[in-house]
Structure 1
Amino acid sequence: MRSPVHRYRDIERQATNLQLEPYVPPSPESPSAMWFIRDACGIVCGVITWFLVLYAEFVVLFVMLLPSKNVTYSLVNGMIFNSLAFLALASHLRAMCTDPGAVPKGNATKEFIESLQLKPGQVVYKCPKCCSIKPDRAHHCSVCKRCIRKMDHHCPWVNNCVGESNQKFFVLFTMYIALISLHALMMVVFHFLYCFEDDWTKCSTFSPPVTVILLILLCFEGLLFLIFTSVMFGTQVHSICTDETGIERLKGETATWDKKPCWESVKEAFGGSFSLSWFSPFSTLTCRRSPSEHVPVTPQGDIIEEDIIEIPLD
């Protein structure tokens, strides 16, 4: 009599082309290890992001605020702009150096499948590129070379995927960049009006041509970043509220999961009930899941028979 078998489905390749070879999973990753993707394009984009923020900081301080005769105006706007810039860069670091929800590599072994205690005829999904069991709503990122839980997209500007565990930091990053861009644009407008009414040589420590060039570049940068980050912020908030990632929306995937209400989904993404910690890039999310949680188990009748690979467990 044939012994019961568990089945899993390779969702990246056809079953006829897949050759299962013995695989020794790597040693468990340390939870305290810093997450960083060694991608040249992403690193360059991250450096450019910091350079543009620091350029805006330079123009705001040394062209507009320090030369101003109004001390109160300089102090108030300096504190606001520097606080927002600090929070934006901190959010960028957290989004870049936080594990977005990577699935452990190499756990699609017979021993691990046995530990799930599946019933005969049930299936789990396997990613052949990671050799890992693929949780529900996870997608493989070719840049990170990992499957990411609730992956929304890979963003080169933060050199990381935006996923289950770092979406909050990406949302904060786009929000704070949009705010400092708007603030910088408002200060540029006031500075131009002030300089037109006064002597240009007295409204800046630089020469009038240099001052104009620096302000025009800042205006262009602020306008570009304001539009881009506002769109990204709105897109991310929409994805959270509808409980649907960017990849799922792009692929037109039919929701097979129970969609959460908007407010519940927002609380899950930001780590709990509403508080000031929602706006802090230094708060730690408390809703992170264990590697084996939410392993998809699907009845046999929901799977096309020729796409299923049988693996004897005895």
Structure 2
Amino acid sequence: MRFGVAIGIGVGTVIVLALLSVAWGSTVIPLSDVLASFGVAGAPPSGPVGKIVVDLRLPRTLLAVCVGAGLGVVGALLQTVTRNDLADPFLFGLSSGAAAGAVSVITVFGDRLGIWTLPVAAFTGGMLAALLVLALVSRLRGQGPERLILAGLAVSFLFTALTNYLVFSGDQRAAHSVLFWTMGGLGLARWDNIGFAALGAGGIAGFALWNHRRLDAFLAGETTAESLGVPVARFRMAVFLAAAFATATLVALAGVIGFVGLMIPHLARRVAGPLHLRLTLACAVFGAALLLASDLIARTLLPPQELPIGIVTSSIGAFFVTVMLMRNRI
């Protein structure tokens, strides 16, 4: 009962925030015009209002939903298979690799593939980081979660150093674009690439739901999971690859957005419990709500400027971790 109520409130919050996200911006559009643009009430508004709603703000809102939901589920899976409450895409170098790929385009190589250059480069960087982590783990004795974490940290530091080098040695006129992208933003949202983000978010949610019993077995410990027929080491690598693919697709369009994958699983477990069938749904809904709210704050805090959304999520995340530490929860 409690779970159903919480999910219902969460879905309602997502809908309200989505409508506000479409209505608010440099030009405030009445909700009646927003609904009319969707064909819900009245005739579609004339002039540029309809195009602003449908072609600009609606794709951005959908991207926020996909990124928030996807990163929330990714964080839950990584925390489960590593048994580390602080695990998120940052910890494993996935975001750092994507950032390095994107920055290399902005500062050095340029838009050789047109509008798809930045997403493709970021996706390639994220997957390269994942492959490096797996290659490093395969060379180590044992493939436990602590090895995966240490390998991820090493790769994260490596790609962060590469990103900083590219920023320093590349075109200094692109520094502002680099800074905004590495802190996250939803400005790349368009109808022709929103399917890419939906693939990442839907793929990781589907993977979690399909394997929810295996993930639940991890909660009882690796020995118990093995006795229940779960190939622990192999399945952990499969989870990591699925998380890497989802993170790379999302970061490729939204930039590096921190703390979503860390915070959301902790919040979701309070209403959904530890079992992954409910937890996956809760993480997706709460993650979407968090990123929609963060994007609204980023767009309206310092008008007409738009803050990088990562500043908002990092601020919320710092407060969240502080509260958790004070309560001895992590």
Q: In proportion to residue count, which structure has more helix? A: 2
TM-score (norm 1): 0.27
TM-score (norm 2): 0.26
Q: In proportion to residue count, which structure has more strand? A: 1
